[in-house]
Amino acid sequence: MPKNIALLTAFLLIAILISAAGTLQAGDMHIYINGQDYFDKFDTELIDGCLMVKARSLADILGAEINWFKAIKTIHLKKDDTKLKMMADNPYIQVNDKTYKTEHQPTMLKGSSYLPLKEVIEHLGYLYQENGKDIYINKPSSYVKGISWQKSGQQLLLELDKISPYRINKTDDPKKIVLELDQTALSPDFKDDLSNKNFYLKIEKVANRARLRLSIISKYPIPFQRDMGIDEDGNNLLINFLPSITAIDWKNNRLKITANGDIRRPEILLLQNPKRMVLDIPGLMLNNFDLNIEKNDWIEDVRVSQFKYDPVTLRVVLDLVEDKQMELVQDNSSNTLILKPADLSEVRELKFENSILSFITDQSTNPDLFFLEEPDRLVINLINTVRGDNFPDKIDVKGELITAVRTAKFNEETVRIVADMTRESAYKLEQKQLSNGKFKHIIKFENGFNKLVLTDSTTKTDISFDFLRQANYEVKRLSYPDRLVVDIQGIGGISQEELPEPLGLIEGIRIGQLSSEPQVSRVTFDLTDYHGHKVISMSPDSSINITLIKGAAEPVTGKNVIVIDAGHGGFDPGAIGPSGLKEKDVTLSIALKVQGLLESEGYDIVLTREQDNFISLKERVDIANEIKARLFVSIHANASNSRYADGTETYIAPDKPAENKLLARVLQRELSNSLKRKNRGILKDNFYVIKYTEMPSALVEVAFISNPHEESLLSSDFFLEKAARAISKGIKSYLDNVRQGDEGVDE
Ligand code: ZN
């Protein structure tokens, strides 16, 4: 039986640290106001250990209005919107319309009035901090009103008056990340709700500045991607963490793995000696979790580890009782995985006909398919499965794509089917239950037609095709009558029934075979009217997107400006490489080079920042949206907990028009071709700047600054120049490809 994992009690601690004040002595003191030493300009007196300053000198230094009413020994001090009223030898201070009791009272000395510095300065809204003989007075520009956990502890919300310069980064300790807020103080009515069973939070005031430092500490290393980890929401900041495992339970013959967020489908491996089932769950973080496994006949032990950081993968190993099997239940909810005891399935009737591989299992087995190279082959693993009677070792195939189908017993409960192929190719698995209760599995190798969708709006009609994999295609305009034809290579067997109803500018859709060697299908769209079209994809592609424009031209959408966004800046260095290279310098250098290259060819470029200054994510987006930019490209360098993580990737926001994907494709293609780093492909994520920009936008992660080799590349001007050329080329290629108007060829 598994040992019970001791659960940590919830961390419920907030520590606010500030250096204790020593006994103040006049002499070599310093009084810094916003960083400048004003000690010599103050008339000070120490009375009962309290530093008193002459009211007049304080007013002069702060630029405050001062009035002295001698008869009633009353001082009025006014700075900005704050008005203080104090009386000599009276312990009450009136701040606007509220009255407070003071510890030290104003006093008359040598005919002048003296005020307690700390109390007066704090009532005027300044931050007062002492460190030995140094006094620091700063005016914060923002206050933290509250800090609280959201989304079951996956997200930390900081409520602020306004966004002030912030930065977040990893530390030398992988279990700790630090968020710093500059020109910021805790609000007097600061409330915290920091209870979270996984993270311990510590807030420190930085002694000599209006700056807060929030340390986030976990019992386990924190997988944290800087660019995804922090987000703005109005005046608030959000820190996002990956979901983490919260419980593993065995109850009613079901093993349930629960997380505080979405669990993606794991990769499953069955291993022998000892018999165990390995579940590799992507994007899940290790943290404190409950383990409740009652004694049972299937599972002897459960082990959990953070198996990888690139990509983040949680590994759950189930030590199984000999001759017992488990299988994944299909109808899992979004934050649980459920496994149940499985019967051994038998596989029979392996066939390969008309480019279709099929077999039948008597249980609802879920084949695990993956492609291997050199030699190219598709591997199909059937776990918890044995070979049925007359199951062949090999099927002879004389295909152009598939050359042989072989089978083998991979281990006691895994049957492996291998399709030898002449090249990498997409495949599609379909499963259906037969009337006799058995399950038929069909694997199609031909490129096929997934769907064709038409959408119509007041300004345009959109056509979007989806295939199983990339296809070469051509879009042509034909006249008399107006038609648009799409000739697609290597796609067969689309039936008229799979085509949608005509819509908008399209009054008819037809399909036919244009040629058989090579195989080319033609889809013809009969048009009611033609005013121009745009193809928002590039051959070859696994999807085709075409926009038919209504009316003479699209409404003017503003200037033809391209916005280049250099990530981070100023107070926020972005990620920092192992030898100290800062992401903000790399991104600015590339952005300036892109600007130079494109401006020299006549393009209008606007940079969100041209120097080393902090700007918020919202300001970046506002710049692009306000000028109605044509394109927005954000430049970043990547970081990972794993120093081995490397390569180039490009992000787009999910659920945005096809233009975004095309932009990402050309950028990723040019960057990979030119930099020759690992091609990590195009990913979808809701980074703030690509989510809220209203024009086609993409975010490039040029290389990993956290990888020592790539950091050294990123520190070379030659490499940055190459990156800038690639980004410029990608932008030009995008603009050429979606240029508007009649691009067709009349036949
Ligand atoms: Zn970044």
- Determine the pLDDT at residue 671: 97
CA of 405 to the centre of ligand 1 (A): 47
CA of 638 to the centre of ligand 1 (A): 6
Cβ 25 vs Cβ 46: under 8 Å: yes
For the chain, give the percent of residues with pLDDT over 70: 93
CA of 226 to the centre of ligand 1 (A): 6
| Calpha distance 625→632 (Å, rounded) | 9
CA of 674 to the centre of ligand 1 (A): 21
CA of 715 to the centre of ligand 1 (A): 16
CA of 568 to the centre of ligand 1 (A): 6
How would DSSP label each residue in 302-365? EEEEEEEETTEEEEEEEEEPTT-EEEE-S---TTEEEEEEEPPEEEEEEEEETTEEEEEESS--
CA of 212 to the centre of ligand 1 (A): 22
| Calpha distance 323→411 (Å, rounded) | 12
Higher pLDDT, 352 or 652: 652
CA of 179 to the centre of ligand 1 (A): 15
pLDDT one-digit tens code per residue, 90-120: 999 999 888 999 889 999 888 889 999 999 9
CA of 661 to the centre of ligand 1 (A): 20
CA angle in degrees (0–180, nearest 5) for 467-472-477:
100
193 — pLDDT class (breaks 50, 70, 90): low
- Determine the pLDDT at residue 357: 87
Peptide bond into 518 cis (omega under 30): yes
CA of 240 to the centre of ligand 1 (A): 15
CA of 38 to the centre of ligand 1 (A): 39
CA of 634 to the centre of ligand 1 (A): 9
State yes or no: pLDDT of 4 exceeds 50.
no
The DSSP element (H or E) to which 462 belongs, if any, is strand 460-471
Higher pLDDT, 479 or 197: 479
Cβ 204 vs Cβ 16: under 8 Å: yes
CA of 225 to the centre of ligand 1 (A): 9
Range with lowest mean pLDDT among 200-204, 466-470, 491-495, 689-693: 491-495
CA of 218 to the centre of ligand 1 (A): 23
CA of 574 to the centre of ligand 1 (A): 5
CA of 705 to the centre of ligand 1 (A): 10
Cβ 461 vs Cβ 454: under 8 Å: yes
CA of 583 to the centre of ligand 1 (A): 7
| Strands ordered across the beta sheet of 127-131 | 36-37, 30-33, 134-138, 127-131
CA of 647 to the centre of ligand 1 (A): 15
> Which residues are within 5 Å of ligand 1 (an ion), measured at CB?
227, 567, 574, 636
743 — pLDDT class (breaks 50, 70, 90): very low
CA of 153 to the centre of ligand 1 (A): 24
CA of 722 to the centre of ligand 1 (A): 19
CA of 170 to the centre of ligand 1 (A): 13
Q: Which two tokens stand for residue 143?
A: 């206050």
CA of 699 to the centre of ligand 1 (A): 9
CA of 569 to the centre of ligand 1 (A): 10
Higher pLDDT, 613 or 342: 613
State yes or no: pLDDT of 413 exceeds 80.
no
Which one, of 34, 31, 235, 206, lies nearest residue 117 by Cα? Answer: 31
CA of 586 to the centre of ligand 1 (A): 10
Higher pLDDT, 210 or 650: 650
CA of 592 to the centre of ligand 1 (A): 16
Cα→Cα distances 745→477, 610, 738, Å = 6, 44, 16
- Determine the pLDDT at residue 3: 37
Higher pLDDT, 563 or 293: 563
The DSSP element (H or E) to which 74 belongs, if any, is strand 74-79
